[in-house]
Amino acid sequence: MIQGEAYVEVTTSSSSPMMSGMMNPMSSMNLGGVETTREERVKWREKTGEKKGFIIKSDEVRTLMVKGRRCLECGYIELYAQE
């Protein structure tokens, strides 16, 4: 087993309704707001044991996606890190 940490990466993107209306004339134009999309991903960060850098050395870190499986009968959840 290797020690590391799990964290949540949050990505947001915004688009103006005016721009989406200009690009697609069939879409409805909502002049009152901005459409925002938010995506969250769970990741695992661990040190590789190697050092990187030319003058100032720091620990090298590897980041992996966290995936999971769920049993349909009992609901048991199993998480694992995948490269």
How do residues 35-57 score in pLDDT, each as one tens digit?
A: 788 888 889 999 888 888 888 88
pLDDT for position 72: 94
pLDDT for position 17: 57
Q: What is the pTM of this model?
A: 0.57
pLDDT for position 75: 92
pLDDT for position 59: 87
Beta-bridge mates of residue 31 = none
pLDDT for position 28: 47
Beta-bridge mates of residue 80 = 67
Backbone angles phi, psi at 65, to 5 degrees: -75, 145
58 with 52: CB under 8 angstroms?
A: yes
